Structure 1
């Protein structure tokens, strides 16, 4: 939707010729922008509450650069880039604010959104090897405007490490439980928490872990109520879902 069209629409609301809900619907249905390599959805934030995210894997550094700059120049002031390679980060044109988080392979154009809710999202990992996926989840949630707490390397092989954080677990609004191997962490946390638990299986583990399939099936078969599961290594999906839950109207 161009500025002229939006101004006309707002004028209709001011004059009583359109309701606020009618105007909002038209904004949600506004067209996207086509560039030679992508079709950019500038109004996703209006429809879904979070603006378009760039998935970096499979894109060249030049493509990432062009998409990010187009979004920025169109008014999107917080742009998340996931699965961004070191090469793409190094060659990114720094004429706009840019930060790269190497461990998570996350790029940020602009600044993180200030937390919108008093509640926090807790990100927990079974082991240190799960931290890259955890950081993708945590940074996604933080960039989208959430307070995030982290407890890493608290897997069931030494369950007393997890229980030492019982207060944090019980006070969280959403928990993201990230683990490879047999993926038991999500079930244990699900048995302690009174909030939604988002389980993320990782591809960490020996041969019969099957690249995360064993953890995935274990989490899908969790006997703990309130546990949902995203795909293997999908930290972004978990962080995004946790953001939606944390920003629902009801406060914890």
Structure 2
């Protein structure tokens, strides 16, 4: 059961798992029913707390994958870290009907709002695509016409999150473009050899700087720093580059 702490976003709430989808062998999407959820913006995250019978608790932050709409659910896509305290439970143990505690939403800088009219460039490394997916979904639900481009870097085809949904957005959401960059193994028949995201990748598949796009970069620290540096080197305004990074603890 959730124990109330402070009102509003700092209140711990009991969230019930209503559905779970296996995204990859090591990643799982949790669909949660959260009573009195105040809503959220694409790009925000929540805190999750697990408490053991002996009273020991562990807390981690996870990006929200879903776009908020009236009557909607809160979705989290969790990447399992084998030595983590929280993620193995969420990906392998938590069952439909069971509850976890969460609070939020948290964050106001790394967010996208429907009122923003500039082109958007999204760069996601690994599970860093999760908050960017919330932005893609929000644009789709709003029938937004802002030009969106997502550069998504993953190790192998087996590591791609939302592998069925992303192509549907390309097909159904006018103005949304996707480029998947593979760093270790490319799909069979791909004309592109595996490589890390570099200047050529962003220059070819991103927006030119004179379009003045809003840029969102999320992923491991090295990926975020490299991508942000490349954007600046290509002439993008640093004030329009928003970054979110994560470490290795989960």
TM bucket (normalised to shorter chain) is 0.3 to 0.5
Higher relative contact order (CA 8 A, sep 6+): 2
Structure with bigger helix share is 1
Report which of the two structures shows the higher radius of gyration computed on alpha carbons: 1
* TM-score between both structures, scaled by the size of structure 2: 0.36
* TM-score between both structures, scaled by the size of structure 1: 0.36
